[in-house]
């Protein structure tokens, strides 16, 4: 045990002696959490819309006013279709809506009205959201016109009453901030641990450690524990920012969150240590860690639902530890899930953690060359 304590003491001294390392560990995640949480906004605003008004009736002008009064659209012109097409080609308009002739008459008499919408679909996500916004505006506009015409108080068709559980205002930050917190904890822990042992190799200090009677598991454990402590401190700072700055609700038990985080950190650090034992230079370690972290993050469900991925990608995602951590943090923080609810994810993370750390210990050789 004393040998492990000596290694831990050495690691802490080595970390805090390096001022850049301290900034990397504590300041960068805070800055990134604050910036990314504001930047990762799924709501589309400022869509430039061109209106081809072939009717020019009071009803069509009311529709144009309805579009202007939304915060999603900016009307960049009202003229004919060809002018709108030129604006799309110059990237000055995102969508054209054509209001057909006799639009006002047909809509107030209940006749079918065909309205053409042409959208710049280079960005498929933005195009889909734009179409959805316009369909909602048009449907509501038709209802309002018919209600005014026939002086009806009752609602038409089926009235849908929405109830958004766990995120009543559909605030994207409530969904994204816990995920970004997972992302930062993962990347910092993985990069630092992956460069740890290999750094000793480059400096030549690994030879001094190899000649000591310390066992391999003691060496890896001594290397790993300081980063576990730092990871938990970093996670705590992130939780405080999420709660105090972004007002993210924490519905679940904090002990469950910290227990899962503790095991997850040993997993990520074990992976980093394993990479560090495989490589000979810090550049090699950094590139391998970067390669896996990009794949894991994009296939974690952090930004896009895993269910929307191809079946083969979903199968690969089942081996992705970040997927389980993102899932658990969101479930416990936002839904208030109990440990029993996330026990399956916990079991998988424990198995991965043990396996990766065993691999790291087995692969570390106390001989040079």
Q: Are 338 and 253 in contact (CB under 8 A)?
A: yes
User: Mean per-residue pLDDT for 156-185?
Assistant: 76
pLDDT digits (tens, 9 = 90+) for 307-319: 878 888 888 889 9
**CA separation for the pair 120, 126 (Å, rounded):** 9
CA within 13 Å, CB half, 205: 10
pLDDT band at 50 (very low <50, low <70, confident <90, very high): very high
Whether the pLDDT of residue 149 is over 70: the answer is no
Per-residue pLDDT, 51: 92
pLDDT above 70 covers a percentage of the chain that reads: 94
Q: How far is CA 331 from CA 149, 244, 249, 252, 334, in A?
A: 48, 20, 11, 8, 6
Residue partners of 41: CB distance under 8 A and separation at least 6: 172
pLDDT band at 153 (very low <50, low <70, confident <90, very high): low
DSSP code at position 73? E
Averaged pLDDT of the chain: 84
**CA separation for the pair 248, 239 (Å, rounded):** 9
DSSP code at position 156? P
Per-residue pLDDT, 166: 81
User: Mean per-residue pLDDT for 296-311?
Assistant: 84
pLDDT digits (tens, 9 = 90+) for 211-232: 777 788 888 888 888 889 988 9
Closest CA to 50 of 32, 73, 19: 73
pLDDT digits (tens, 9 = 90+) for 233-253: 989 999 999 999 988 888 989
Q: Are 267 and 353 in contact (CB under 8 A)?
A: yes
């Amino acid at each position: 045990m004393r040998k492990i304590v000596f290694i831990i003491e050495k690691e802490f001294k080595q970390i805090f002696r390096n001022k850049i390392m301290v900034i990397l560990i504590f300041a960068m995640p805070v800055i990134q959490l604050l910036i990314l949480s504001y930047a990762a906004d799924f709501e589309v605003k400022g869509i430039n819309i061109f209106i081809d008004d072939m009717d020019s009736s009071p009803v069509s002008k009311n529709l144009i006013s309805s579009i202007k009064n939304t915060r999603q659209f900016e009307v960049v012109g009202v003229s004919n279709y060809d002018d709108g097409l030129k604006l799309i080609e110059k990237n000055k308009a995102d969508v054209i809506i054509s209001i057909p002739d006799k639009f006002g008459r047909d809509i107030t008499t209940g006749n079918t009205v065909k309205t053409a919408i042409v959208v710049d679909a280079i960005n498929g996500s933005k195009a889909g959201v734009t179409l959805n916004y316009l369909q909602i505006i048009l449907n509501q506009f038709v209802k309002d016109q018919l209600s005014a015409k026939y002086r009806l108080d009752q609602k038409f068709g089926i009235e849908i009453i929405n109830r958004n559980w766990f995120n009543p205002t559909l605030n994207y930050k409530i969904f994204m901030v816990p995920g970004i917190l997972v992302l930062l904890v993962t990347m910092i822990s993985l990069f630092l641990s992956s460069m740890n042992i290999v750094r000793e190799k480059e400096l030549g200090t690994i030879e001094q450690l190899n000649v000591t009677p310390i066992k391999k598991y003691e060496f890896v454990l001594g290397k790993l524990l300081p980063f576990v402590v730092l990871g938990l401190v970093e996670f705590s700072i992130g939780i405080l920012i999420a709660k105090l700055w972004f007002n993210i609700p924490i519905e679940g038990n904090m002990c469950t969150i910290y227990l899962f985080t503790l095991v997850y950190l040993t997993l990520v650090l074990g992976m980093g240590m394993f990479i560090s034992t495989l490589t000979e230079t810090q550049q090699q370690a950094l590139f391998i860690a970067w390669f896996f972290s990009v794949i894991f993050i994009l296939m974690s469900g952090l930004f896009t639902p895993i269910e929307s991925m191809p079946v083969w990608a979903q199968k690969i995602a089942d081996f992705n530890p970040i997927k389980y951590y993102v899932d658990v943090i969101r479930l416990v923080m936002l839904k208030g899930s109990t440990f029993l609810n996330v026990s399956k994810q916990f079991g998988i993370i424990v198995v991965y953690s043990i396996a990766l750390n065993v691999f790291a210990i087995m692969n570390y050789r106390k001989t040079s060359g």
